[in-house]
Amino acid sequence: MQSYFHNLACSRCKSAYPADIPQNLCACSSPLFAQYDLKEVSRVVSREDLGYRVHSLWRFKELLPLLDAKNVVTLFEGFTPLIPSLRIGAALGMTALQFKDETLNPTGSFKSRGLSVAVSKAKELGVQEISLPTAGNAGGAAAAYAARAGLKCHVFMPEDTPSVFVEECRAYGADVRMVPGFITDAARAMQAEGAEKGWFDVSTLKEPYRVEGKKTILFELAQQFSWNLPDAILFPTGGGTGIVGAWKACSELRELGWLNRHKMPRLYAVQAEGCAPIARAFQQNLEIAPEWDDPRTAAWGLRVPKAIADFLVLKAVRESQGIAVDASDDQMRVSQKEMAEQEGLFVGLEAAAAVAALKQLIVNQKIGKQENVVIVLTGSGLKS
């Protein structure tokens, strides 16, 4: 497989952890990150080599944590197109707006990237049962890859989760539990049972490899932009794996020496007005994001009142000179309709939030009209 993965290290205190057993958080409660021998990768692989490989995120195998190819669990996730905006960008006076269409992934959202890698690695480490709390797409993706891998999957969902997500998990044969309250309550119920039964917890950023799958979005963008990254990238943000993965990928690409110029893209986190802990913390200059009381939004992927990686999301936004913003559900619905009618793209409310946020950022001159801008279309409208 020729992976150059060697160990895990804490994203906060830098403590190292062995990677030959399943791991969750550091002893200091922060996420663990996979470390690679990037010097060796840049010595043996050229960026041009990557263009001739499999049409999935597994083309970046040297920079992914799997050691043996036989453990890869794939449904051909990733390798998604970059689609130019025809009308929405022009209406804003923009010249180079493009959409990274993640709705084409297996299970209809970018969650499949993370779960392909996480389930593969769990299988490689001998895990037999995985579990996670989710109010949306993560459950379906986990259930699909677990089915493909032959692993048992336990999904804990808030009672009010839309039935489309519940049915999707059940279709893949997952053990689905409905829990009263929010996703935090579902997480508590899962931990209580999972600790006793030895399930491996694959919650967002409590598990180190989902973010590795997500980071491949940036590797693909680097290829699609001929090794010049765009000026600005907008990420609908809930738990933050997408934007944290992008930030990690930027630093790996820089160290690999694969980019033509050193300028990094500005990363924008987009949240829902009714659940915007990261955007609020950004405005208040805080390093962590206090829990959001009474989260309300129809964009299920953005209904995360407290993210374990809040400090990493805020760091990614600030170090890249981006901004954390929010959009209302009404604005999302307007943008969802515009995307479908004017671009032919039926996206979920989360992606529509990023389109709505872009309008504000252009009006406020935070993003220039001539800049290369990418919006990550995280999920399909068919589920909303």
Binding site for ligand PLP (CB under 6 A): 109, 111, 136-137, 204, 236-242, 301, 348, 350, 378-379
Q: How far is the CB of 364 from ligand PLP (least distance, A)?
A: 23
Q: Which residue lies nearer to Zn ion by CB, 154 or 248?
A: 248
Nearest-approach distance from CB 103 to Zn ion, in angstroms: 35
Q: Which does 223 bind (CB under 5 to 8 A by kind): Zn ion, ligand PLP, none?
A: none
Q: Choose from ligand PLP, Zn ion, none: what does 30 bind? Cβ within 5-8 Å by kind.
A: Zn ion
In whole angstroms, the minimum distance from the beta carbon of 335 to ligand PLP comes to: 14
Closest CB to ligand PLP among residues 239, 322: 239
3-state SS track over the chain: CCCCEEEEEECCCCCEECCCCCCCCCCCCCCEEEEECHHHHHHHCCCCHHHHCCCCHHHHHHHCCCCCHHHCCCCCCCCCCEEECCCHHHHCCCCEEEEEEHHHCHHHECHHHHHHHHHHHHHHCCCCEEEEECCCHHHHHHHHHHHHHCCEEEEEEECCCCHHHHHHHHHCCCEEEEECCCHHHHHHHHHHHHHHHCCEECCCCCCCCHHHHHHHHHHHHHHHCCCCCCCEEEEECCCCHHHHHHHHHHHHHHHHCCCCCCCCCEEEEEEECCECHHHHHHHCCCCCCCCCCCCCCCCHHHCCCCCCCHHHHHHHHHHCCCCEEEECHHHHHHHHHHHHHHHCCCECHHHHHHHHHHHHHHHCCCCCCCCEEEEEECEEHHHC
Least distance (Å) from ligand PLP to the CB of residue 176? 17
How buried is residue 257: exposed, middle or buried, by Cβ count under 10 Å (0-12/13-18/19+)? exposed
241 binds, among Zn ion, ligand PLP, none (CB under 5 to 8 A by kind): ligand PLP
- What are the backbone dihedrals phi and psi of residue 372, each rounded to the nearest 5 degrees, phi first? -80, 115
Nearer to ligand PLP, 41 or 303 (CB): 303
CB of 322 to ligand PLP, least distance (A): 14
Pick between residue 98 and residue 204 the one whose CB is nearest to ligand PLP.
204
Nearest approach, Cβ of 255 to ligand PLP (angstroms)?
Answer: 23
Closest distance of CB 231 from Zn ion, Å: 33
- Nearest approach, Cβ of 317 to ligand PLP (angstroms)? 12
Interaction partner, residue 265 (Zn ion, ligand PLP, none; CB < 5-8 Å by kind): none
Whose Cβ is closer to ligand PLP: residue 336's or residue 378's?
Answer: 378
Please choose which of Zn ion, ligand PLP, none residue 26 contacts, taking the beta carbon within 5 to 8 angstroms, the exact cut-off set by kind.
Zn ion
158 binds, among Zn ion, ligand PLP, none (CB under 5 to 8 A by kind): none
The answer to whether 19 touches 8, Cβ cutoff 8 Å, is yes
Q: Which is nearer to ligand PLP, 120 or 204 (CB)?
A: 204
Q: Which does 240 bind (CB under 5 to 8 A by kind): ligand PLP, Zn ion, none?
A: ligand PLP
Choice between 45 and 186, CB closer to ligand PLP: 186
Chain residues that interact with Zn ion, rule: CB under 5 A: 10, 12-13, 15, 26, 28, 30
User: Cβ closer to ligand PLP: 41 or 64?
Assistant: 64
